[in-house]
Amino acid sequence: MLAQSSPHRTVRSRTAAAPVDVHGAEAAASALRVFFNIGDAWGLTAQEEQTLLGVGRTTFFAWKACKVRSGLDAAVLERLGYLFGIFGALEILLPIPERANAWIKAPNTGPLFGGESALKRMLGGQVGDLVAVHAYLSAQRGGDFS
């Protein structure tokens, strides 16, 4: 349907796309696929991935087998948000994928890490550990190298 016509252009009206259910199983499966791809890039074990997600063994392995039956709860979404942010920050700070992916397991002399890797800090099991690494990388992106 033509909405407007002029001598220079014709603008067509579009019908709105159906809303996407960001809380449903399809969105959850997509988010988990992204997470598992990041886990592969970082060379994570299943145990490490499970710890980062903060879920039980049965749930984790169902998700790993692409058996996502419902949306993700707020705690998992929060963890995924920080993990995606960490991955994105590393892509900006270290644009060579091999270096960005290796950083997560490399010893780090920064005060937050005390000579251990960022992954070790993240595997503390608390969402606060993810928050700390995310904040550290955000500060690095902003030029705060302390």
Structure tokens at 97: 């994928």
- Residue 107 phi/psi, 5-degree rounding, is -60, 145
Residue 143, pLDDT score? 76
Q: Which of 22, 32, 25, 34 lies closest to 55, judged by CA?
A: 32
Q: Which residues pair with 10 in a beta bridge?
A: 5
DSSP conformation letters of 51-65: HHHT--HHHHHHHHT
Residue 17, pLDDT score? 66
C-alpha distances in Å from residue 68, one per residue of 2, 41, 50, 65: 42, 22, 15, 8
DSSP state of 146: -
Per residue in 61-81, pLDDT tens? 999 999 999 999 999 999 999
Q: Report, as ranges of residue numbers, the positions in the chain whose pLDDT lies below 50.
A: 1-6
